[in-house]
Structure 1
Amino acid sequence: MNAEIIAIGAELLLGTTVDTNSAYVSRQLTACGLGVGRVTLVGDDPEQIAAAVREGLGRADLVICMGGLGPTLDDVTREGVALALGRPLEFHAALLEQIAARFAAMKREMPESNRRQAYVPAGARVIENPRGTAPGFIVEDEAGTVVVLPGVPYEMRYLCEHALIPYLREERGITTVILVKTLHATGLSESMIGELIADLMNQENPKVGISAKQARYELRMSVRAETYTEAEALLTATSSTLAERLGANLVGAEPLAATVVKLLAQRNLSLALHEATPVAPIFRAMTAVRGGADAIAGVVVHPLDQAADEDAAVALAHAGATNVLGRWRAELGLGAQPVSSPDPSGLTAVCVALVTPDGLVRQVTRRYDLRLPEGWDFVATLALDLMRRYLQGEQA
């Protein structure tokens, strides 16, 4: 059984509301063994909703709609689904009584417009909503199954967990297990990683995919099996294969910054930073992680006050790391220094140096487009990965 999701609401198309509901439902469906093939955003228009439902049923066994079940005139999901399935809307007196009772419990008078919420397509199974006034419903049609849930997140989540998932498992016999695990990597380009694991990306089960962000990569593994134990075994085997293929470039199950903070804590080491930019990308990346601020003994932010070429940047990064190491008596000093101006291509050389109390120095220079807002994030990745490799014992 495969599924599609339709998120409904003009606010989603305008960008004033972010569609978090679809991500949540996708995770829930994946956990119970259903693959989600597509997520569609549709505005508050019954014809557009009907078209999206018909198209979804043409591809999938199950279509889940969310949103547009409120009492106002722009809440037209009921009409759209009914139109798609060629069914009239039917009034349910019992639903109206439940809605009225909820208003009475809140000691408020029910507006007449809430009567709209007591209509569902003919033959639909009503999903009562104890968290709000918008009931959901399930329509089992020869074209496929349509489940409609309210768009208010806490109402949707409750009905998903207490109605949708039980319906799929108990009545539709969905027993397959799908597990998803993410590993993190860096140090190689996305294309290089893709070449190393091309066979894993092409196979159906387990399936591996890559997402890239500022020279950090998420390797998502998804496996399908009949039991949890079988799925776990497949994940373990695939994780081992990735470790063999990527070697030291595989960070692990935690993101890069979290891994560095964890390694520092395990070895009871403190870190001092020297960053030659007000952006302070390394400090920013580390303090965004729980425990990151505790690992930093001190930080100096000292923008370049005179012209520096690449040789000077290397020397300044080294000197900065050495200075903060002694100033805060830390176990590790890390310095980041860009040259004073980009080269003709627009790229700026940045040197990162790591210094230890015994005088060991590791340094690396890369070129980035620092005109871009995310350019400094690449610098943070470079610095954190240099430190990770040292902390994990990789030889220079």
Structure 2
Amino acid sequence: MIEITMISTGEEVLLGDITDTNAAWLSRYLFEQGLTMTRRVTVGDHCERLAKEIESCSLNSDIVIVNGGLGPTSDDLTAVAAAMAANVGLEQSDHWVAEMKAKYEKLNREMPAANLKQAMLPEGAELIDNPVGTACGFAIKLNRSWIFFTPGVPSEFKIMVKDQILPRLQAKYPANQSLHCFRLFTYGLSESSISDAFQHLTLPQGYEIGYRSSLPFIEVKLFAPEQGNTALTLLAEMETLLGDNIVGKQVGLIDNLASMLIQHNKKLAIVEQSTGGFVVNWLNQQPALSEYVVSASVQNTVVDTKTDMDALVKAASDQLQRLSLIPNSQIGLFSGALHDGAVTVGLITDEEKWIQHVQFKRVYSHDDQRWVISTVLLDMLRRYLQGVAIFGHYESLNRLFENHSLKLMNLQKR
């Protein structure tokens, strides 16, 4: 088995000031290429500690990828630490100095003298081009390892891994087989219930199932060494077991909604109370959806403590009826006020109306409540467009009321 280690650098990563998204991305990306990361380490901005960690990893790993610390400031110490670990000096790369100057000339700026530091590499290092920024990468051979040094800026890091480091690894390990990843995005099920549903699945050699939980969704991934009939048959079994709790295949809920709204040419009118604009903001993250929201408003509604569920449901019904009158819209969406840990949400079309009153089973933060309510509402929309049952199975919610009725026909759009 190939031993791959990643060393992340920087006090901001070590102390939790920023999330190490580069490490998460690299682990996932390498796994999809058939290369499994075996160890991850984080070291602060301390030259000697980083040098010792580089040397230690070089004794136990085949590949080491060091991320961060290649900038022009005083706390960027990775090149010095690499030279210390390899017991060599630093030398200036005239080629990279010329590259940096050319980048600044394109911006009609003079390169600051501080950037010369980014061209100082350990003696004998192989330069790795950075087509985006001013921090070049480099590689050295130390003990049993090839060690690759990369900048911490995510856009620069990812392009260097994809275009330069991965091809080197594939050339070095040609027998390694990349994996195809099939993704199913779900809502309403827990990881444990999905695992129980899959317990009788038989995975052929080389196949794996993975999970990624990110409130409010659980992404289920099938990793397969090929895309043939075996993989597709297994994927079909998984889809059957997950049922209509799948909100997207290969794409998430919003991208799936974008495709369906465009396909059906349906436009939306939205009123939000408890969600406070989350629904429309979420939809607008997909640029193609902007023209499919013809009306959106947020209402700050205070509910009297004595208000009962029947009154909340009636208020939702009235709001939906008004939404149905908005010109050029074919679907109305409404999220009501949160009251006693419960909320009323509804959807109306030119012919029908659906309302449900759901209650949280657990305590959520204010933002998480809005994410969950928004997801329930948009899941109703997804279900309507897909032609499946509008009221889904949600393990984290109690459904206290549901109603499906024909829309009142005595009011018409103007």
Same fold (TM over 0.5): yes
1:353 maps onto 2:355 in alignment: no
1:242 maps onto 2:238 in alignment: yes
1:68-79 aligned at under 5 Å gives the runs: 68-70=69-71, 74-79=75-80
SS of structure 2 residue aligned to 1:184:
strand
1:251 maps onto 2:247 in alignment: yes
Q: What is the aligned partner in structure 2 of residue 262 from structure 1?
A: 259
C-alpha separation between the residues in 2 aligned to 1:214 and 1:112?
A: 43
Change (3 A) 1:279 1:109: closer
Change (3 A) 1:44 1:303: closer
Change (3 A) 1:174 1:156: farther
Contact 2:186–2:247 (Cα < 8 Å) also in 1: yes
Tell me by how many angstroms 1:375 deviates.
0.6
Contact 1:278–1:302 (Cα < 8 Å) also in 2: no
C-alpha separation between the residues in 2 aligned to 1:292 and 1:324?
A: 19
Change (3 A) 1:114 1:304: closer
Change (3 A) 1:190 1:338: farther
Q: What is the aligned partner in structure 2 of residue 48 from structure 1?
A: 49
1:292 maps onto 2:289 in alignment: yes
Q: What is the aligned partner in structure 2 of residue 8 from structure 1?
A: 9
Q: What is the aligned partner in structure 2 of residue 187 from structure 1?
A: 188
Question: Greater shift after overlay, 124-133 or 265-274?
Answer: 124-133
Q: What is the aligned partner in structure 1 of residue 384 from structure 2?
A: 390
Tell me by how many angstroms 1:245 deviates.
0.7
Residues 54-100 of structure 1 show CA distances to partners (whole Å, capped at 9, x for unaligned) of 5645764311112334566544334544555xx411455xx444355
Contact 1:298–1:328 (Cα < 8 Å) also in 2: no
C-alpha separation between the residues in 2 aligned to 1:334 and 1:115?
A: 56
Q: What is the aligned partner in structure 2 of residue 376 from structure 1?
A: 370
Residues 34-53 of structure 1 show CA distances to partners (whole Å, capped at 9, x for unaligned) of 11234332212233324533
Tell me by how many angstroms 1:256 deviates.
1.8
Contact 1:278–1:303 (Cα < 8 Å) also in 2: no
Contact 2:334–2:347 (Cα < 8 Å) also in 1: yes
C-alpha separation between the residues in 1 aligned to 2:384 and 2:219?
A: 22
Change (3 A) 1:317 1:57: farther
Contact 1:50–1:81 (Cα < 8 Å) also in 2: yes
SS of structure 2 residue aligned to 1:364:
strand
Structure 1 residues not aligned, in runs of 5+:
343-347
The one-letter code of the counterpart of 1:256 is L
Tell me by how many angstroms 1:378 deviates.
0.5
Residues 235-281 of structure 1 show CA distances to partners (whole Å, capped at 9, x for unaligned) of 53342122111111112222223323332322222222232347133
C-alpha separation between the residues in 2 aligned to 1:130 and 1:273?
A: 45
The one-letter code of the counterpart of 1:363 is I
Tell me by how many angstroms 1:314 deviates.
1.5
C-alpha separation between the residues in 2 aligned to 1:291 and 1:130?
A: 32
SS of structure 1 residue aligned to 2:213:
strand
Corresponding residue pairs, total = 377
Tell me by how many angstroms 1:31 deviates.
4.8
Match of 2:354 among 349, 362, 365: 362
Change (3 A) 1:52 1:314: farther
C-alpha separation between the residues in 2 aligned to 1:104 and 1:257?
A: 42
Contact 2:58–2:142 (Cα < 8 Å) also in 1: no
Residues 90-119 of structure 1 show CA distances to partners (whole Å, capped at 9, x for unaligned) of 455xx4443554577668799599479545
C-alpha separation between the residues in 2 aligned to 1:356 and 1:42?
A: 56
1:2-151 aligned at under 5 Å gives the runs: 2-14=3-15, 19-23=20-24, 25-26=26-27, 29-53=30-54, 56=57, 60-70=61-71, 74-81=75-82, 87-92=86-91, 95-99=92-96, 101-102=98-99, 114=116, 118-120=120-122, 125-129=125-129, 132=134, 134=136, 136-142=138-144, 144-151=145-152
Tell me by how many angstroms 1:18 deviates.
5.3
Q: What is the aligned partner in structure 2 of residue 209 from structure 1?
A: 210
- Normalising by structure 1, report the TM-score: 0.79
Contact 2:43–2:49 (Cα < 8 Å) also in 1: yes
Residues 188-235 of structure 1 show CA distances to partners (whole Å, capped at 9, x for unaligned) of 233322321246699884222222333322112323x3xxxx246555
Q: What is the aligned partner in structure 1 of residue 401 from structure 2?
A: none
Contact 2:303–2:337 (Cα < 8 Å) also in 1: no
Q: What is the aligned partner in structure 1 of residue 400 from structure 2?
A: none
Q: What is the aligned partner in structure 2 of residue 345 from structure 1?
A: none
- Normalising by structure 2, report the TM-score: 0.76
Q: What is the aligned partner in structure 2 of residue 318 from structure 1?
A: 317
C-alpha separation between the residues in 1 aligned to 2:135 and 2:273?
A: 56
Contact 2:275–2:374 (Cα < 8 Å) also in 1: no
Residues 284-303 of structure 1 show CA distances to partners (whole Å, capped at 9, x for unaligned) of 33233233332223234334
Question: Greater shift after overlay, 254-263 or 158-167?
Answer: 158-167
Residues 353-392 of structure 1 show CA distances to partners (whole Å, capped at 9, x for unaligned) of 222322x332222113575222111111111112222222
SS of structure 2 residue aligned to 1:258:
helix
C-alpha separation between the residues in 1 aligned to 2:298 and 2:234?
A: 43
SS of structure 2 residue aligned to 1:352:
strand
Contact 2:275–2:335 (Cα < 8 Å) also in 1: no
Q: What is the aligned partner in structure 2 of residue 220 from structure 1?
A: 221
C-alpha separation between the residues in 2 aligned to 1:157 and 1:303?
A: 43
Contact 1:200–1:207 (Cα < 8 Å) also in 2: no
C-alpha separation between the residues in 1 aligned to 2:37 and 2:211?
A: 18
Contact 1:200–1:206 (Cα < 8 Å) also in 2: no
C-alpha separation between the residues in 2 aligned to 1:380 and 1:116?
A: 46
